[in-house]
Every structure is written in structure tokens, then in C-alpha cells.
Amino acid sequence: MNYGELRQVFTSKVKRYTPNELDFALQDCHDTLKLRSDLSTDHPYYIKLWAEIDAIRDRKLELSKRSKK
């Protein structure tokens, strides 16, 4: 799967996450990137992690905007 396809999968998945789950998942992705600093930016797992991070960030932003209304 490419970044766009992965992003769609994670965007759908994180819609069901609570804010705490979003925070945990985001931290987990960043921790994994630190542990796997050997991955190149074109490695499939690296791409997967960033697709997940971007989907989580977008969802957190969406929830933040809703709470300010």
C-alpha cells in the first residue's frame, strides 16, 4: 500500500479513537520511529507510521475545532 492508501485506512480507523487513545497511538508511533531510526524514508514501515501519525493529528485537530464551537 502507498502513503495515500494507508492514510485512508488510518483516517477511518482513528475516527473511533477516544482522545486518550489518540494521544497514546501518537506517542507509540513517535517512540517506534525513535527505536527504528535505521529505517529509510522510503521503507514501507516508515511510510505506514507517518500515514498513521498524520491521520491521528488530523483527527485531533478536528476534535479540537469541534470542542471550541
Domain ranges of the chain: 3-67
Prediction pTM value: 0.92
The CA distance from 57 to 25, in Å, is 10
| 42-68 pLDDT tens trace | 999 999 999 999 999 999 999 999 888
- The mean of the pLDDT values for the chain is 96
**Which amino acid is it at 35?**
L
Handedness of CA 50, 54, 29, 34 (dihedral sign): positive
Q: What mean pLDDT is predicted for residues 17-30?
A: 98
